[in-house]
Structure 1
Amino acid sequence: MTTTTFARTSGAAAPRAPIADDRAMLKAAAELTRDLNAPRPAVYWGDFLASAALGYAALGVAIAAGPLWLTLIAGVVSMLALYRGMSFIHELTHVKHASLPGFRIGYNVFIGVPMLVPSFMYEGVHNLHHARTRYGTSDDPEYLPLALMKPWSLPLFVLVAALAPVALVFRYGILSPLSVIVPGLRKVVVERYSALAINPQFRRRMPEGEAAKQWNLIETACALWAMSLIALVVTGALSLRAFAIMMAVASAVAVVNQLRTLVAHLWENEGEAMTVTAQYLDSVNVPPPSTLPALWAPVGLRYHALHHLLPGLPYHALGEAHRRLSGVLDKSSPYYKANYAGMPGLVAKIARSTMLPR
């Protein structure tokens, strides 16, 4: 959720030749992974519930701990675990709910409402990012040509995420109830402040039918929790120290996720529609042997480029899909051009691009 505008670098960029689809890669991706499409409920539920349980347990330790070192260690553990749990919102937008009954409810109960990141903030939004004619265009809610913007846009892009927990408490604790009684405010809240999007021009459509009923129910729960949290702090029932630790952990989750978003793509498209192969090459895999991506790009997000080839593949199958494709495709295949070693090199690559004259 953002309304920040990032400046483009001045001058006209040289036009780039369009990238044609690599039929061999697309065919191999489809044929070699047909048996991997079914999500495994035990894996989803076990991973998700363990992440949430560890996250909240560590948060409790961080709040109750006396020594600062223990608070910091527990806070980091809590952040990583809750970040992993929150990352399942991405899976919700792709998985068929009939194959994972109750998972949307479970996500909202254990992560969505407590963290004020309910499922509806991504459902109906992320699918637009994968639309063949929308990716990388002004109609893509999750795309900004960051590599073509001013150098200061990158640190601003990351730092603004630190304010996300405050913005979410305000959105659900203040704007939600006000939007019920203030004419016209509801439309603004839904259109502009109800999506995990980075494109400031994106506007959501008002939900309808069953989607609206589900949205209103979940949003009511978020509003009640946010208002209760505000009341607990104001009355002193929740100490400022405990509240500060909670907000610090949530802020760290948002910043790490924004850093991951920064390196999820190369952000080099200037608004034209792209082929599937071009979308793949503008996206990023950070496969093994790198180990840290398992922490900052959890739940399959380290295979983000592969995910754009096979968006319906469950997260637990992406590693096997990568191994199969790597074992079959020729080394000249564009498949390998989306593989990178880690975050530092990717950040440096994008930063260098912002400094090029245009």
Structure 2
Amino acid sequence: MKYHSTFEPASPVEARPIDRERFRTSDDKDMLRAARDLTKDINEPSATVYWSDLLLSSSIGYAALTGAILVSSVPLAVTLGIVAALALYRALLFIHELSHIHRNALPGFRLAWNALVGIPLLTPSFMYEVVHTLHHARTRYGTKDDPEYLPLALMKPWSLPLFVFIALLAPVAFIVRFALLVPLGGVIPAIRRLTWQRFSALSINPEFRRRPPEGDLKKRVLWQEIGGAIWAWCLIGSVFAFGWKPLLVALAVFSLTAILNQLRTLVAHLWENEGEPMTVTAQYLDSVNIPPPGRIAEIWAPVGLRYHALHHLMPSMPYHSLPEAHRRIAAHLGAGSTFDGANHKGMVTLVTRIARSTMTRR
């Protein structure tokens, strides 16, 4: 694919060790300039791509889930359950895009996503909106004020399996939140405040406390909370109408989806910051790209999240443009550049790296 830019490519940077410590205090301006200038023409979201991807993923997910509930063959049910988890996982991760795209960029997309995915999976978009942008704030990333950061590589060895295991409880926790805490919060202000501060954000930092919603978000929270509460009670009521099997199968599928997301989160960063503010370049190097030729990353890190480090350079870049953006910047800067320093081979390599780091913390 040819592209045009006012940026004049320089000679590729020769391979050299990357001085990560230097980039904690200063940015690689050549990389930041290249990221800006080489991608100006691919910065608009495609409505066709977004809508077709969401509708196809959610349709496959719910069809497979229905099959997993109805079939009598256990192997077939397990296979359909895995397909459902993967497809719904992809559909669910559009919540990340919703937190970045301009509210007028894709008319109706946020509403459709919440109706198709957010409320049925009890993770409406308000649980990520505003919260995620704090993670991208220049002075918050990697600090105690970052809701999506824990120095996992610097923690005890048992912290990693606990981090993954806790995702198993997420579907049941969401049902309790919406079916019990939301109605009680409607009449008891203290419960409403507690629920909002502690249980209304997809965060991993246990110290994070969410501030009250403001502006347009406040209106969206109201109808999403009501929709979630009604759906949670429908799930509970389904046991009396259809027995336990549909709900248990659905919970198993959603648990698998939650574990996939937690594993992806585990390798989205290197988690090596001890709480100090970082430059944009340092944040980039603490984040992870899993570029081709490997293809399996597109399964466990879909919707552009295999380019998570690049996303931290260009948060507003639509997910479907990230592969081309990565190709352009990598070709311009060359092997061994700072840009190359965030590229990794895959999940196993990254988990091993983080696990080895925790072993030194016994």
TM over 0.5: yes
Task: Give, in whole Å, the separation in 1 of the partners of 2:204 and 2:361.
Answer: 25
In the other structure, the counterpart of 1:317 is 321
Deviation sequence 1:136-164 (CA, Å, 0-9, x none) = 00000000000000000000000000100
Contact 2:157 2:361 (8 Å CA) reproduced: no
Contact 1:141/1:198 (8 A) holds in 2: yes
1:240 and 1:215 map into 2 onto residues whose CA distance is 30
Question: Which residue matches 1:276?
Answer: 280
Task: Write the deviation string for residues 208-262 of structure 1: whole angstroms up to 9, x where unpaired.
Answer: 34321221011100000101211222x2x13211111100000000000000000
SS of corresponding position for 2:189 = coil
**Given residue 299 of structure 2, which amino acid in structure 1 is its aligned partner?**
L
State the alpha-carbon separation in 2 of the partners of residues 357 and 79 from structure 1: 35
Aligned length: 342
Partner of 1:165: 171
| 1:36 shift after superposition | 0.9
Contact kept, 8 Å, 2:171 with 2:255, in 1: the verdict is yes
1:181 to 174, 181, 187: 187
2:245 maps to what in 1?
Answer: 241
Gaps of 5+ in 2: 1-20
The amino acid across from 2:196 in the alignment is V
Of 58, 77, 82, which aligns to 1:71?
77
Q: Does 1:251 align with 2:244?
A: no
Which shows bigger deviation, 131-140 or 176-185?
Answer: 176-185
TM-score, normalised to structure 1, is: 0.94
Q: Is the 8 A contact 1:19 1:277 kept in 2?
A: no
* One of 310, 316, 328 as aligned partner of 2:332: 328
Give the Å deviation of 1:331.
Answer: 2.3
- 2:275 corresponds to 1:267: no
Task: Compute the displacement of 1:326 (Å).
Answer: 1.3
| Residue 139 (structure 1) aligns with | 145
SS at match of 1:98: coil
- After superposition, where does 1:189-208 map in structure 2 within 5 Å? 189-208=195-214
Aligned-residue RMSD, C-alpha: 1.3
Q: Please tell me the residue identity of whatever aligns with 2:122.
A: L
- TM-score normalised by L of structure 2: 0.93
Please say if residues 21 and 278 of structure 1, whose CA atoms lie closer than 8 Å, have aligned partners that are also in contact: yes
Q: In the alignment, which of 36, 47, 69 is matched to residue 41 of structure 1?
A: 47
Q: Does 1:290 align with 2:294?
A: yes
How far does residue 19 in structure 1 lie from its aligned partner after superposition? 4.8
What is the CA-CA distance between 1:312 and the residue it aligns to?
0.6
**Aligned equivalents of 2:159 and 2:188: distance in 1?**
35
Counterpart of 1:58 (choices 64, 71, 80) is 64
Paired residue type of 1:270: E
Distance 1:189 1:357, change over 3 A: closer
Which of 92, 95, 107 is the aligned partner of 1:101? 107
CA distance in 2, matches of 1:345, 1:45: 34
> 259-268 or 16-25, which moves further after superposition?
16-25
| Contact 2:334–2:340 (CA under 8 A) maintained in structure 1 | no
Q: What CA distance in whole angstroms lies between the structure 1 residues aligned with 2:26 and 2:215?
A: 40
Could you tell me which amino acid in structure 2 is paired with residue 319 of structure 1? P
Q: CA contact under 8 A between 2:289 and 2:344: conserved in structure 1?
A: yes
